[in-house]
Amino acid sequence: MPVVEAPEHPVEASVAVDPKTTALIVVDMQNDFVKPGGALVVPTAAQTIPAIQLLRALARSHGMAVFYTQDTHEPGDIEFPIWGQHVLRGSWGWRIVDELAPEAGERVIEKLRYDGFFGTPLASMLTYLGVDTLVVTGMVTSGCVRATVIDAFSHNYRVVVPIECVADRSATSHQVNLFDMDMKYADVLPLADVLAHFGRR
């Protein structure tokens, strides 16, 4: 199957990110998905860490809100017949990778399912902060990233997905889901475009 390219955007119209009304969402960057020996490792996940670190450092320097979702399961979870056992609460695989460990004051949202909004206080926290734009990064493009992006759109947020900050187990699935999110729910953009226009309104 040929690689599917995301449609081009008019950069000036779609890239501008105002840190005062934007939050960075780091989705499920946990050992089970990212590190060798993890239960559901994405082969290219480690490549996203430097890109997310760069974006997070910029967000922090501008005082922008940073949230982390943490996929969290208990023994016997209904997802285990689909994916096998993973991210059991308190396990090594459940922990956020050391390279992206949250700082004091940054919020960690434990979630039961793919979507970062489902059954969590994320929406109310964002409303309290006056956020209208989300920059979504993390694992995996076709799963928890996509589900969170769709629900963010349904909550009337503008959503930006930097391409280098997400990954999937399948290159085809990665490309197809980026294309679909870009067409319907988000601005899917190279990280360089997001960084170059950071702080513009």
Q: Known catalytic residues?
A: 144
Who's near 124: CB < 8 A, 6+ residues apart? none
Strands (E), the chain: 22-27, 65-71, 107-111, 133-139, 158-162, 166-167, 187-189
Which amino acid, 100? L
Yes or no: say if 165 and 186 are a contact pair by the CB < 8 Å rule: no
Number of helices (H) and strands (E), helices first, in the chain? 8, 7
